[in-house]
Chain A
Amino acid sequence: MALAITEDCVRCWACLPLCPNEAISAGAAGFDIDPQRCTECVGDFAAPQCGEICPAEGALVDAWGHALNPPGSLGGAPVAAAAPAPGPRPGC
């Protein structure tokens, strides 16, 4: 029973300090979860901490490959409509 990090990871480091088992490491190729250490936070927290803070949909999967945060689950709320004719904007 262990979670894994996919290539959708944005390498933001948010998960790393939260892991109660220090199972997450930042390698040259990306972030990794040590399957020997990962407990999916059972006994420590109600939900896996990496999955709770991860901002990237699909970046964390369980042993069956199911995304903890599937596409659409982390999206923003509906936002205001676009301006009728947005010109070039300062700062963009």
Chain B
Amino acid sequence: MPASLSSPSASAASAGCGASRCGGTASQIDALDSPLRQKVQDHPCYSAEAHRHFARMHVAVAPACNIQCNYCNRKYDCSNESRPGVVSEVLSPEQAVHKVLAVAAAIPQMSVLGIAGPGDALANAERSFAVFDALARRAPDLRLCLSTNGLMLPAYVERIVAARIDHVTITINCLDPDIGARIYPWIFWNHRRIHGREAARILVAQQQLGLEMLVARGVLVKVNSVMIPGINDAHLPEVSRVVRAKGAFLHNVMPLISDPAHGTAFGLAGQRGPDAAELAALQDACEGGASMMRHCQQCRADAVGMLGEDRGAEFTLEKIAHLQIDEAAAMQRRVALRAQINAGPGGTGAAEASAAVLPFARAATPPARGVRMAVASRDGRHVDQHFGHAERFHILEVDGEGVRWLGERAAARYCGGEAECGEQDNLLARTVATLADCEVVLCARIGMAPWQALESAGIRPDGEHAMEPVAAAAQAVWHALRDAGRLTAAPFEDQKRA
């Protein structure tokens, strides 16, 4: 469980961790409970590092839902919590268990089994828990997670804990019932259908209570929100702030999908979704709250494989029906592979891998402004790459409170060998342009030409921290800049404009 959720030394206000491979000082990393590291380091949805190495699958055993959302057409599956299109097969719990074991035998990267619909996992509680309970016995190395609208969450918290489900995602689109009334036309509650504002009031209350109860029991909670322009977009920063204060570990703001062809109430009414810029701006506005997740792929409720791929077609019921599975051998392969990945190239085990997630404590008044940095790192943990060899840069926001990983940016690879020499100037200029909003570039080594190009662009190259852990290096650079009095001036962007 996260330190920030369970440790008395961490206040609720400091809760929230980044889905980042970089960040935080060594002491911050040490302060993390190792169970939290273990919970996220091989979960592709929670750790930006893990999503390259580990696979997940969803099993569609939960067709029923107990609320109606205006962004969902029940005829076709939920278009926002799982991507458009009918779930290929609604599985019985027995079929689902067999499918999970078959996939986990064929894909040793399988680390996570989730139940995310196509309805609501807890509106189908008996079916969902039948799968979880069987897998806890037969594939105890798999992490279990579920996704819910939260309506029935308080009633099932104890069962979730007993089933050793360590990640729960709650879709929370609002705190204000008046806003909720525009998103949820009705809920099914206490054997009755309830409409309008009262429905939204009950749903919001159950979601918030469920969040609090899960955090109190040490279950990792991610919050999903669907961004609906004109309805909840201005409200979501407040949602982010509140769920973070209550201990949510990640906040994932997703764009409304409202193609009229999906037949949702929003789609038919012409409610638009946000464009990429609006979504990014809202995610930025929410950054002060729960750490934002930016690699979400809005997977289907029956997705199989690495994030962003779907190998579901390889594992249809027909294809796996008569498959004989050596469950013990399959588990051994998974455990061995996981150990190998977590050790990493040159990695030193759990402590290094833990850099994947960090608490991001916030002081009341930032002592100096933050600095955006780009880091050339091959293993994602150390400043271990030559500037010219970097195919991508990790972008960090560093300030006195910690380090946040903002994402990755592909570089134009300018040092590609003799054959590309004629292209070098052009490629270098393109790479520098890619990093224009960064103030510092950390790398293991850098040649004269790129050094000068970066400096001319107002970017400070730094090769002084070669092979050091990324977070520690970034913090050291930030402290040096602050001590030199360079972080009291206007933000970098304003300086550049001036």
Q: Is A35 an interface residue (CB 8 A)?
A: no
Q: Is A80 an interface residue (CB 8 A)?
A: yes
Within 8 A of A (CB), among B220-255: 228-231, 255
Q: Is the CB of B258 within 8 A of A92?
A: yes
**Chain A residues whose C-beta falls within 8 Å of the C-beta of B231 in the assembled complex:** 79-80
Known A17-B64, A45-B191, A80-B231: A55·B74 in contact at CB below 8 Å: yes
Q: Is the CB of B273 within 8 A of A92?
A: yes
Within 8 A of A (CB), among B284-329: 298
Q: Is A63 an interface residue (CB 8 A)?
A: no
A-B contact count (CB 8 A): 107
**Chain B residues whose C-beta falls within 8 Å of the C-beta of A87 in the assembled complex:** 275
- A7 to chain B minimum Cβ distance, whole angstroms, is 12
Q: Is the CB of A53 within 8 A of B74?
A: no
Given contacts A46-B191, A91-B298, 15 further A-B contacts (CB under 8 A): A12-B65, A13-B64, A14-B123, A52-B188, A53-B64, A76-B265, A78-B182, A79-B70, A80-B269, A81-B270, A86-B272, A89-B257, A89-B258, A90-B273, A91-B273
Known A12-B65, A82-B271: A76·B266 in contact at CB below 8 Å: yes
Closest chain A residue to B123, Cβ basis? A14
Size class of the A contact interface (CB-based, 8 Å)? 20 to 34
Specify which of B64, B266, B272 is in contact with A12 (CB 8 Å cutoff). B64
**Chain A residues whose C-beta falls within 8 Å of the C-beta of B64 in the assembled complex:** 12-17, 53
A16 to B62, CA, bound (A): 12
A50 to B376, CA, bound (A): 58
Q: Report whether over half of chain A's contact residues are helix, strand or loop; otherwise say mixed.
A: loop
Q: Is the CB of B191 within 8 A of A92?
A: no
Q: Is A28 an interface residue (CB 8 A)?
A: no
Q: Is B498 an interface residue (CB 8 A)?
A: no
A92 to B259, CA, bound (A): 6
Q: Is A49 an interface residue (CB 8 A)?
A: yes
Known A12-B74, A90-B275, A90-B276: A82·B257 in contact at CB below 8 Å: no
Known A76-B185, A91-B298: A82·B272 in contact at CB below 8 Å: yes
Q: Which residues of B contact A (CB under 8 A)?
A: 63-66, 68, 70, 74-75, 90, 119, 123-124, 126, 181-182, 185-186, 188, 191-193, 196, 228-231, 255, 257-259, 265-266, 269-273, 275-276, 298
Known A53-B66, A76-B266, A82-B270: A90·B185 in contact at CB below 8 Å: no
Specify which of A15, A49, A74, A77 is in contact with B182 (CB 8 Å cutoff). A77
Closest chain B residue to A44, Cβ basis? B191
Specify which of B65, B228, B276 is in contact with A14 (CB 8 Å cutoff). B65
A11 to B63, CA, bound (A): 9
Q: Is the CB of B191 within 8 A of A83?
A: no
18 A-B pairs (CB sep. < 8 Å): A12-B64, A12-B119, A13-B124, A14-B66, A14-B123, A15-B64, A16-B64, A52-B188, A52-B192, A52-B193, A53-B188, A74-B68, A76-B269, A77-B196, A79-B271, A89-B255, A89-B275, A90-B276
- A54 to chain B minimum Cβ distance, whole angstroms, is 9
Closest chain A residue to B83, Cβ basis? A91
Q: Is the CB of B255 within 8 A of A77?
A: no
**Chain B residues whose C-beta falls within 8 Å of the C-beta of A17 in the assembled complex:** 64, 124, 126
Closest chain A residue to B259, Cβ basis? A92
**Chain B residues whose C-beta falls within 8 Å of the C-beta of A53 in the assembled complex:** 64, 66, 188, 193
